[in-house]
Amino acid sequence: MIIYFIRALFVVTIAAFLFASINQAAVDIDPEARGSNIIAIFIGGMAIAALVIAVDWLTPKKSLNALAGIFFGLLVGLLISWAMTTVLEMVDDVFIQMSENSLQISKAIMGLCICYLTISIVVRTKDDVRFVIPYVEFSRQTKGLRPMVLDTSVVIDGRIADIAETGLFESPLVVPRFVLNELQLIADSPDKMKRNRGRRGLDMLNKMQTSSVVDVQVDDTPPPGVEAKSDVDHKLVAFTKACGGKLVTNDYNLNKVAQFRGVDVININDLANALKTVTLPGEMMQAKIIRAGEDAQQGIGYLDDGTMIVVEDGRSHIGKTVMFSVTSALQTSAGRMIFGKFERVLGSGRNSGNHNNRVKSTRAT
């Protein structure tokens, strides 16, 4: 609400300034063309104000670091321009002897060039400014809202996109440039399975970037203290620690390494396990047996969400959808496993009329 008040105040201030300027300049305007000139000045000023508000309206996702860099660069540029104009006046008095108009144009051009160069340099090297000017630093981390750094596996997994769509995350989702490069390499892999995984990851990023709810940022900052040839996991840990963010992953090994290095981790598998309906022993569920298990007579299947099902006496029913009773469940950061005992084959006609068990098993999955 306050942003609308600020915009309205900006329009009113511009209008008042235009009226004051027109009244002051009305004396110098030819009386015959005074009316049209005054209207043209007012319309031009309000058009500029409308353009500024339109630019502000169409760019809702602003980077505080970029704005701070532009502001600091502009201040430095103005300071340097002021010093250089004095030098230019001295040189002009001694050597060049330019006209007053040419001198003013030269000052303006020089000032614009210097401001552009300082803003460009500060924005591109804002993380190194503190080494040049002590106590001046553009930190990427923000108090309260710590960035969520996504790794390759969690982007390919895709669940983070659905979670972010709920509005759970107020902080931005940051994708480091080296993670994006790894996704592109996987998408160009000659192996069909890897290629599909890489393309799925890129599709998930595009989905999140086009969402009005999710704030996704691609950060080009290299992780400090890590060589360019280091593996992505080491870069992720160093990058997350440097920006003071939280690493979002479903990689079990990366989870442990990050915790050892003192980096906060959000494991998507842990989050999914916390949100799952508790599976109780004796509950009836159904799954398709797709392969044999390690132990004798065991059959392995999977639920729609990827949960592994180990069914005793299910080896002889590979390729069939069976009903089984849950005996136990195991939940870890690496995923979830449900153990059960074979009851019957669905669709075989034996006890197939137990509709309540089917409803219950569907809800459980």
Do 268 and 232 share a domain, yes or no? yes
Q: Which of 119, 138, 115, 120 is nearest to 128 (CA)?
A: 138
Widest distance between CA atoms in the chain: 108
Task: Tell me the residue range of the domain where 335 lies.
Answer: 277-364
Task: Give residue 114's pLDDT band: very low, low, confident or very high (50, 70, 90).
Answer: confident
In a domain, 81, yes or no: no
Q: d(Cα 299, Cα 100) in Å, to the nearest integer?
A: 92
Predicted local distance difference test score (pLDDT) of residue 359: 35
Is the predicted pLDDT of residue 162 greater than 70, yes or no?
Answer: yes
Distances (CA, A) of 179 to 37, 201, 222, 235, 273: 57, 10, 11, 9, 26
Q: d(Cα 341, Cα 328) in Å, to the nearest integer?
A: 10
Domain with residue 358: its CATH number is 2.40.50.140
Predicted local distance difference test score (pLDDT) of residue 230: 84
Predicted local distance difference test score (pLDDT) of residue 356: 38
In a domain, 304, yes or no: yes
Do 260 and 349 share a domain, yes or no? no
In percent, the amount of the chain with pLDDT more than 70 equals: 72
In a domain, 187, yes or no: yes
Do 288 and 268 share a domain, yes or no? no
Predicted local distance difference test score (pLDDT) of residue 290: 92
Do 152 and 269 share a domain, yes or no? yes
Q: d(Cα 68, Cα 114) in Å, to the nearest integer?
A: 18
Among 15-24, 61-70, 97-106, 191-200, the range with the most confident prediction by mean pLDDT is: 191-200
Domain with residue 200: its CATH number is 3.40.50.1010
Q: d(Cα 180, Cα 239) in Å, to the nearest integer?
A: 14
Is the predicted pLDDT of residue 325 greater than 50, yes or no?
Answer: yes
Task: Give residue 358's pLDDT band: very low, low, confident or very high (50, 70, 90).
Answer: very low
Task: Give residue 33's pLDDT band: very low, low, confident or very high (50, 70, 90).
Answer: low
C-alpha torsion 231→234→235→239, nearest 10? 170
- Say if CB 266 and CB 153 are below 8 A apart: no
Q: What are the backbone dihedrals phi and psi of residue 130, each rounded to the nearest 5 degrees, phi first?
A: -65, -25
In a domain, 102, yes or no: no
Say which residue, 222 or 7, is predicted with more confidence. 222
Do 234 and 202 share a domain, yes or no? yes
By CB atoms closer than 10 A (0-12, 13-18, 19+), residue 301 is buried
- The pTM of this model reads 0.45
Q: What is the mean pLDDT of residues 127-136?
A: 47
Per mean pLDDT, which range of 140-154, 213-227, 295-309, 310-324 is the poorest? 140-154
Give the three-state DSSP class for 56. Answer: helix
332, two tokens: 């870890």
Do 258 and 315 share a domain, yes or no? no
- Say if CB 204 and CB 161 are below 8 A apart: yes
Q: d(Cα 177, Cα 236) in Å, to the nearest integer?
A: 11
In a domain, 129, yes or no: no
Q: Which of 163, 152, 136 is nearest to 186 (CA)?
A: 152
Do 260 and 281 share a domain, yes or no? no
Give the three-state DSSP class for 176. Answer: strand
Number of domains in the chain: 3
In a domain, 337, yes or no: yes
C-alpha torsion 330→331→334→336, nearest 10? 70
Predicted local distance difference test score (pLDDT) of residue 102: 67
Do 240 and 342 share a domain, yes or no? no
By CB atoms closer than 10 A (0-12, 13-18, 19+), residue 281 is exposed
Q: d(Cα 279, Cα 308) in Å, to the nearest integer?
A: 13
- Rg of the chain on CA atoms, in Å: 32
In a domain, 48, yes or no: yes
Last residue in a domain, options 242, 258, 273 = 273
Do 157 and 260 share a domain, yes or no? yes
Do 152 and 251 share a domain, yes or no? yes
Task: Give residue 134's pLDDT band: very low, low, confident or very high (50, 70, 90).
Answer: very low
Among 51-65, 99-113, 134-148, 299-313, the range with the most confident prediction by mean pLDDT is: 299-313
Q: d(Cα 222, Cα 297) in Å, to the nearest integer?
A: 52
Q: What is the mean pLDDT of residues 160-170?
A: 85
- Say if CB 158 and CB 205 are below 8 A apart: no
